[in-house]
Amino acid sequence: MNPTRPVRYTRRGFSLLELSLVLAIVGVLMAVAAYNFMGAGERAKVRATKATLGTIKNILQTYQVDHSVFPPDLQTLVVSKYLEDKKIKDGFEQPLYYAPVGREGRPYELLSSGPDAKFQTADDIDVWTMDR
């Protein structure tokens, strides 16, 4: 009769250090992914704002060719059927600023207040400088 021997497992589990290291790496990867994901929405709104400004710039040029002057305000473009009313807001759902007389030799001013929704701050998006 053979006495029963205790079965020895040769396979070891993961040590606490190994598990902690893997969890730390996963945590760092999750933080990087969350950071990139959170900024993606704002970048998309900036791109949408730039597209809107570019569209309105083209419409302003068309209006100027048709009427020999730039419109006094953006609402004139809506009334004249050059532009839909909803296009007068930027990607952040803020109204755009338009002035028919520009500065620095520009024919007009057209800009968005940017992500902070305040004009005359560093994040303003100007139609004349947005592609620089």
pLDDT digits (tens, 9 = 90+) for 15-71: 888 889 999 999 999 988 887 777 788 889 999 999 999 999 999 999 999 999 999
Q: Class for domain 42-126, per CATH?
A: alpha beta
d(CA 90, CA 83): 14
Per the CB < 8 A criterion, the answer to whether 63 and 77 are in contact is yes
Domain coordinates in residue numbering, the chain: 42-126
pTM: 0.72
pLDDT digits (tens, 9 = 90+) for 88-113: 899 999 999 999 998 889 999 999 99
